[in-house]
Amino acid sequence: MTERAELEALAQRVCEGLAKRDIEQVLSCYDPEVVLLVPGAPIVQGMDGLREYYEGVFAAGVKSAEMRIRQVESLGDALAEVGEYRMALEPPDGEPFEDTGKYLVVCRRDDEGQLRFWLDMVQSDAAAA
């Protein structure tokens, strides 16, 4: 399997986990030393912080997500990926909406050789409030 195919499979797995509201599947896509940078929030570090973040995403009513890889670069033992995302949400107390944006992730392999999201930065296309 090519590195790009591995990254596409990883992206598919996290998106499927979001759609199924399966937090364990989503978390399994990340490195234990994950660092997540999202707009309007402090830095998220480690699995406990990541779990808290995704609990909030689920509470916000995520219904589906898609990731489209635009560029892949090898960084020695890691891979950098640049792409675009789309996420459909149906908040419990609001109107359904769709968020689109871009992301930059650096993935590294775990002890079994599987790629995991390690450094993850997301930026919505929506104008800042």
51-110: per-residue pLDDT in tens?
999 999 999 999 999 999 999 999 999 999 999 999 999 999 999 999 999 999 999 999
Q: What is the pLDDT of residue 89?
A: 95
Query: Which residues share a beta bridge with 105?
Result: 81, 120
Fold of the CATH domain 3-124: Nuclear Transport Factor 2; Chain: A, (3.10.450)
Q: What is the pLDDT of residue 12?
A: 98
Percent of the chain whose predicted confidence (pLDDT) is above 90:
94
Q: What is the pLDDT of residue 129?
A: 63
Q: What is the pLDDT of residue 1?
A: 85
From its phi and psi, is residue 108 left (phi > 0), alpha (psi between -120 and 50) or beta? beta
Percent of the chain whose predicted confidence (pLDDT) is above 70:
98
Q: What is the pLDDT of residue 106?
A: 98
Query: Model-level pTM?
Result: 0.93
Q: What is the pLDDT of residue 31?
A: 98
Q: Map out the domains of the chain as residue ranges.
A: 3-124
CA dist 67 and 89 (Å) reads 15
Report whether 54 contacts 22 (CB < 8 A). Answer: no
Tokens 């996290």, residue located: 14
